Amino acid sequence: MDITTFNLSNPWRTGRDWDVPGIKRDVTRELVNWLDKPEILILSGARQVGKTSILYQLIDGLIRSGHVGPDGIYYFNLDLGGISEFLEDQGSFLRFLDAEKGGNIFVFIDEVQRLPDPGIFIKALQDLRLPIKFILTGSSSLDIRTRTHEPLTGRKQVFHIEALSFSEYVMTVPALSSLPALEPQNYSIYIGALNDALNDYGLYGGYPAAVLSTDPGKKILRLNEIFSSYLEKDIAGFLKVENIPAFRKLTTLLSVQQGGLANIQELSSTLGLHRETITRYIHYLEETFVIKRLTPFFSNPRTELSKMPKIYFADAGLRNLAMGSFSDLRTRADTGKIIEGIVASHVFRNRRLSHRVNYWRTKSGAECDFIISDVKPVQSIEVKPGILKHVTISRGYRSFLSKYSPEKSILLNSTIWSEKEINGDTVEAIPIAVFLLREAREGTRT
């Protein structure tokens, strides 16, 4: 390992000034609570969603709190040449850490999937019961899971890191960063600015590099760099996909069809690829955090439609890049699909671990966008972007409510915050931007 490369990656060890990323992430507070626990911490998520920035924030917090001195913190980026080879020998690694000197040691390893056998390597060190705390990141849930799950069973805690949520994005908007708690009595003062922020978020998404760029052209360039790096390093380099043009075409087609039923046979015919190839590529897209797959909810398969999933992109900016369109959300025809995708990501991100997320659709065409359930539906969400004069419930949504009567029913729109009784069920109409903020801040995840 080149010691110069290591020192440049660890400026706190040499006394050099270094910048701590300033975007506040909700997960950071949760991670801090695990730093004193014995479990290995694993941060999994797509490239450039901010995993390394979170590591730097944790490192800064450790030093500032006096929890450990700068010489007790080691950071290794396995994307850099020579680093992964160095970490393959446990003995050399422990000697480099000077593990026998006593005192706590924190080891941060970025892109741990670059190791040939990361789970076995870390397990062997963990089982020595030395005062070493490992915090790892990885870009592929498929690889992190298969190569660390069994060796690290009972020894790890996994955190999924995504691009900035809308709630986190709003904190980067100066005019909204000190927003008070929103209630039906005061929300109308802020709804115009919040909808403007939601339009920008729906255009460029939440990847930090794009968010921090002020020029629209540079935002698109940043997104293009992120996607190109993803194709080169994760898809071609790591997953060994050879037909990158076909993979890219599938990504484009899925971006156009976002929110619709994903018919594998139709995709196969359109792209001239085998069904197995389409299925495998979609699996890769899901396991590398580019898309989210929504499966149908049904209690009676004879009347409630197909087993086909709906596919949403995890980040609106990456979806618009794949589609090749960055026109204003106020004038484009697919705004509804974009907003649906943002809501889908939000619901997946904030659901309880015991809850499933599905959509509902009958053979007669009745639909409900999102169903959150455990044994039975506990929440239903219908997304209707646009300005409403009064609360209007579609016939399809009425059909679902009549059949299942979930504990909570929501109609998302752009302007109205009120309630309406529908055949004994209370439906809360709430502005989309308020919903994305309120539920995130209340903490719906357990």
pLDDT at residue 327 greater than cutoff 60: yes
Residue 357: count of CB within 10 angstroms of its CB: 18
Share of the chain above pLDDT 70, in %: 94
Please report where in the chains the tokens 């060190």 appear, as a residue: 125
Q: Is residue 270 domain-shared with residue 380, that is, in the same domain?
A: yes
CB 79 within 8 A of CB 111: yes
Residue 366, domain extent = 166-442
E strand segments, 227-364: 291-296, 310-313, 356-361
Q: Which residues of 98-134 are buried (b: 16+ CB within 10 A; e: fewer)?
A: ebeeeebbbbbbbbbbbbeebbebbbebbeeeeebbb
pLDDT digits (tens, 9 = 90+) for 30-47: 999 999 999 999 998 888
Q: Is residue 117 domain-shared with residue 257, that is, in the same domain?
A: no
Mean pLDDT, rounded, for 386-404: 88
User: Which one has a higher pLDDT value, 156 or 446?
Assistant: 156
| Contact residues for 186 (Cβ-Cβ < 8 A; gap 6+) | 180
Q: Is residue 224 domain-shared with residue 339, that is, in the same domain?
A: yes
Least confident range from 127-131, 325-329, 363-367: namely 363-367
Q: Is residue 349 domain-shared with residue 423, that is, in the same domain?
A: yes
Record the tokens describing residue 98, joined without a space.
Answer: 């000077």
pLDDT at residue 443 greater than cutoff 60: no
pLDDT of residue 444: 37
Q: Is residue 18 domain-shared with residue 133, that is, in the same domain?
A: yes
Write the single-letter amino acid at 384: K
Q: Is residue 302 domain-shared with residue 417, that is, in the same domain?
A: yes
Q: Is residue 233 domain-shared with residue 354, that is, in the same domain?
A: yes
pLDDT of residue 278: 97
Q: Is residue 173 domain-shared with residue 42, that is, in the same domain?
A: no
Closest to 206 measured CA to CA, from 32, 45, 42: 45
Q: Is residue 250 domain-shared with residue 365, that is, in the same domain?
A: yes
Find the CATH number of the domain harbouring 135: 3.40.50.300
Last-in-domain residue among 160, 183, 207: 160
> How many structural domains compose the chain?
2
Give the confidence band of 446 by pLDDT, cuts at 50, 70, 90: very low
Give the confidence band of 144 by pLDDT, cuts at 50, 70, 90: low
Q: Is residue 68 domain-shared with residue 130, that is, in the same domain?
A: yes
Record the tokens describing residue 319, joined without a space.
Answer: 């979806």
Instruction: Give the three-state DSSP class for 49.
Output: coil
pLDDT of residue 440: 54
CB 397 within 8 A of CB 382: yes
Instruction: Determine the Cα–Cα distance for residues 100 and 131; give it in Å rounded to an integer.
Output: 10
Give the confidence band of 353 by pLDDT, cuts at 50, 70, 90: confident
pLDDT of residue 136: 93
- Backbone torsion region of residue 175, taken as left when φ is above 0, otherwise alpha when ψ lies between -120 and 50, otherwise beta: alpha
Give the confidence band of 280 by pLDDT, cuts at 50, 70, 90: very high
Last-in-domain residue among 137, 160, 183: 160
Share of the chain above pLDDT 90, in %: 65
CB 132 within 8 A of CB 100: no
Q: Is residue 196 domain-shared with residue 228, that is, in the same domain?
A: yes
pLDDT digits (tens, 9 = 90+) for 92-128: 899 999 877 778 899 999 988 888 888 888 888 898 8
pLDDT of residue 363: 83
Mean pLDDT, rounded, for 310-317: 97
Last-in-domain residue among 132, 160, 188: 160
Q: Is residue 380 domain-shared with residue 403, that is, in the same domain?
A: yes
pLDDT of residue 383: 96
pLDDT at residue 60 greater than cutoff 50: yes
To 5 degrees, how large is the angle CA 235–CA 55–CA 82?
Answer: 55
